[in-house]
Structure 1
């Protein structure tokens, strides 16, 4: 199932995308997930615009989970106020050096993570989506805690939908496309720290809940971007577009 959120004349609704790409309103998918069943439709197809498919209370980034990083899994926090949806616009900071786009798999948590281990992590995951973890790496020279380097209005494009049919064990194809040019091509299987272990590490220290997001790292999927670039993050069958200025 592909789960999204759309802005409509009646407000923001949770929907599934049917085979024709129409938006069908559905009940709360997190409540259904916690009850161990599929969410049910609650109305006919509607017209609307996709927004971020989750509104996390907590966003966790997995640190040093890219090329040439051999250290144990670590994590950091990013503000949920930086989340924007698909095809949204973000003004890149001019005061923070180079901006880098990072194509990543984002795990959307389905229920309270008490009891989550590496072995049972899949039981706590609603689905996966794409995220563009926009960053300002030049700031790490004076800000090793990632606060400045990961801050910025709209610096966490998320979406376009949550894919519940894929698994945290799938070697999902990933790509970063800038202005139509495929500048990076990789897969989730190239993450030095696997998704199961990353989730178990996070849950050991920090409780997560429905709608929270764990960004799993950029395995050879990052590239600098300039203002005006159109950036596409491809994760499995999802493509997340970000417009910049």
Structure 2
């Protein structure tokens, strides 16, 4: 099932989408987070409203999570290598390209914008804005100390995230948060696909800038796979329904190019993940 949050006739509605029929069905709750929480508790069975035409509806970011988004750095081998060689990595062990443990940081939920929303380059704050296509995992059933074997039981679904990054702030402050946390630096969408819709461990992940293919990989290439990330993050810390885990980006980001190529005003970044859809945003 495809689940979205839309703006329709002045209201914000969580809906189930049926693109083939051009229809959407309201879920009968106030937010997508409420639907996920109800699903986790066994209280959400099927959309409750009457089908509406998609005409006139505008897609918003599908979900605002209950807290910061968990993000994983350097989780594709080729990207880990390009990052290690870029000169932008802060706090790295000299000569170490592949980490022994996942590198985890967060982005505040205030960064989130939706499909087709413009993204501010924050020209007065940074001059080195980069793009990163990522598969995002949405937790359904919460839990602590979740084993690899049970990890998929705790997943609600998946969406796409652009982990936009100010590389100069990332480098200068010797940590990742300030380079990741600017307003608008987390485009998300276009919707959520539920866990049963795709094999998330074997999907193609791609990104284009102004129509030029920059990133392309398969989630088979993840260094730390989805069950391992859930096991690591939940060790001693309770994951909540609606938590989002952004699993890392493939090679081909702007700092990996020679010379580096950062986003400019007017650039359009389009991202695709097999079985989910496409997410596109213009930078200004």
Structure 1-normalised TM-score?
Answer: 0.92
Is residue 178 of structure 1 aligned with residue 217 of structure 2? Answer: no
The residue correspondences of 1:103-122 to structure 2 (distance < 5 A) are 103-122=133-152
| 1:156-184 residue CA offsets vs partner (Å, 9 max, x unmatched) | 00001001134564311110011122122
Structure 1 match to 2:107: 78
Q: CA deviation at 1:205?
A: 4.4
User: Given that residues 25 and 47 in structure 2 are in contact (C-alpha distance below 8 angstroms), is that contact kept between their aligned partners in structure 1?
Assistant: no
Q: CA deviation at 1:37?
A: 6.6
Structure 2 match to 1:225: 263
Q: 1:45 aligns with which of 27, 42, 52?
A: 52
Structure 2 match to 1:64: 74
Structure 2-normalised TM-score?
Answer: 0.80
Computing the radius of gyration over CA atoms, which structure comes out larger, 1 or 2?
2
Structure 2 match to 1:99: 129
Q: Aligned to 1:4, what secondary structure does the other structure show?
A: strand
Flag structure 2 segments of 5+ consecutive residues without an equivalent: 30-34, 82-96, 255-261
| 1:103-142 residue CA offsets vs partner (Å, 9 max, x unmatched) | 0001111132335222111111111100000001222332
Q: 1:121 to 1:167 in 2, by over 3 A?
A: farther
How large is the Cα RMSD of the aligned pairs?
Answer: 2.0
Structure 1 match to 2:12: 12
Range 231-240 or range 135-144, more displaced: 135-144
Structure 1 runs of 4+ with >6 Å offset: none
CA distance in 2, matches of 1:121, 1:213: 14
Q: 2:220 aligns with which of 163, 185, 189?
A: 189
Structure 1 match to 2:91: none
Q: CA deviation at 1:206?
A: 3.3
* Aligned length in residues: 245
Structure 1 match to 2:32: none
Structure 2 match to 1:201: 232
Range 4-13 or range 63-72, more displaced: 63-72
| 1:202-241 residue CA offsets vs partner (Å, 9 max, x unmatched) | 1114322222211100022533322211111111131001
Structure 2 match to 1:211: 242
Q: CA deviation at 1:93?
A: 2.0
CA distance in 2, matches of 1:140, 1:180: 27
More helix by share: 2
Range 79-88 or range 59-68, more displaced: 59-68
